[in-house]
Chains A and B, each alone.
Chain A
């Protein structure tokens, strides 16, 4: 019997637990040219803000050991253009669409989410309350439990379908923020956003990106992400989408074992844009070998000392 890759997050069914991470697949058009998007459980768009954003000037990325540092600066077309230019394309895609929403004021989050409510093809919203790269990137919402609860409550009022709270690792207690998000009505968590970091050139004495600090992603952050997924899983019954340095099938399995129902892959796509095809195949092989009939046979099954 072929193992079943389907997962259900807050009532939305996904063909498999594999998703793109926000900011690593644009609005899907480029990836659709490279591999069939039907291979994805869901496509998570770049962060969309109320107004268009040019983003930071280059250089915006720096390669670091086992990963990258980036401060793109939430470059995006803004909600109006997203609706007119990008939604028609996303409507036609054979995968679930999750739109990531960023803002600098609560009213902005609310306005963007309320506009997205009209588009049935948007299965869920992922609320970015944790971008470390712009001063107004929402991190103040995601690092304070009171603000977290308040923002979730506000967007839940204007968007009928499930909302995922994307949590920041740059906090004292991610569990505390997760609880606040749950209190505010979050339906699921994405764990984690990037870690704040810095890269410096010893010859020129210069920081390597124009924003000076940026978000660290890639395999370097995987152990941090695994621990945080497990911590949130241990304190909440809401489904978790695990994110952080996934670049192989083994990595996906580790996240599932720590409590994730699905995973997002980002930075590794830059190295191998066709990675999803390989992982889907290998995941099925692994499940057969381990006699797992469904993904649920793996979720949270980590054996601890």
Chain B
């Protein structure tokens, strides 16, 4: 575990990404250099009666102290957060959790993102490219109900990765569930592959099954209500396939395919 910091940061940039999605960039976060794709921060909601912090995966960092999260309004906490004005102060605790393990250089990277699960995966793709991975070895599958659930399309496209948007109603990209084109891709590929997925439980389950079915290793990023985020409350545990419990916050949130009972 990285020794986290607890920083008061300013909301520098606030973007309304439509359909209740927001991108918030905070500054200055003193440990940006320690942040890696898959890490998250616990954000303290200012001036509310909401007691606990809220966990958000990191979407991007810059070397001069910017840290970005992307979230969707789901409940009371995220609704209040969305109202925060530019220039407001928010306390961030992090970076927390385990980060993704990068693929081997000879592997094709299959990213399976769903809804608000895409930010850590976009961060992974960005960091991989910065580390010299060929963007064309990254296959970014992104599923949502409609075109409005596929966020930051142009930002992902700009990375030069193979981008496969999939929507249930066919309003953008291929029609159907994201796992179908993923399975077709795996079946048609002779290369070594590695899966990275983050999204709704149904999608994680499908990604997990595909990995096990075709013997493709990979990692899943899980989400859970999380009182502490640092491993002390045992509130966020999930069941592992070996019958034991794992804490999402510090044994994860990144887990291997086949590890967790989904």
Contacts and interface: CB of A to CB of B under 8 A. Distances in A.
Chain A partners chain B = yes
Interface of A: 23-26, 30-31, 33-34, 54-55, 57-61, 63-68, 70, 72, 75, 218-219, 267, 269-274
Interface string B70-91: 0000000000000000000000
A60 B237 CA distance: 8
Given A65-B49, A68-B227, A30 B1 contact: yes
A30 B250 contact: yes
B235 interface: yes
Contact of B52 (A33, A55, A68, A72): A68
A26 B244 contact: no
Contact of A63 (B50, B93, B229): B50
B3 interface: yes
Contacts of B231: 26, 30
9 contacts: A30-B231, A34-B230, A61-B227, A65-B51, A72-B234, A269-B228, A270-B227, A271-B51, A272-B6
Q: Which 4 A-B pairs have the closest CB atoms?
A: A61-B235, A270-B228, A30-B231, A270-B227
A61 B52 CA distance: 11
Interface residues of B, number: 30
Contacts of A34: 3-4, 230
B166 interface: no
Contacts of A68: 51-52, 227
Contacts of B6: 272-274
Interface string B213-246: 0000000000011011111111111110001110
Nearest to A72: B234
B66 interface: no
A65 B50 CA distance: 7
Contacts of A75: 234, 237, 245
Contact of B234 (A55, A57, A218, A269): A55
A47 to B, nearest CB: 11
B227 A273 contact: no
B44 interface: yes
Main secondary structure of the interface of A (DSSP, over half): loop
B3 A55 contact: no
B53 interface: yes
A24 B245 contact: no
A58 B237 contact: yes
A275 B112 CA distance: 39
A67 B227 CA distance: 10
Nearest to B228: A270
Contacts of B229: 270
Nearest to B243: A54
Contacts of B230: 30-31, 34, 273
B234 to A, nearest CB: 5
Given A54-B245, A269-B228, A271-B44, A61 B233 contact: yes
Given A271-B53, A272-B6, 10 more contacts: A30-B1, A30-B231, A55-B237, A58-B236, A70-B235, A72-B233, A75-B234, A75-B245, A269-B232, A270-B232
B235 A24 contact: no
Contacts of A267: 227
Nearest to A57: B239
A65 B52 CA distance: 10
A30 B234 contact: no
Contacts of B227: 61, 63, 68, 267, 270
B233 A270 contact: yes
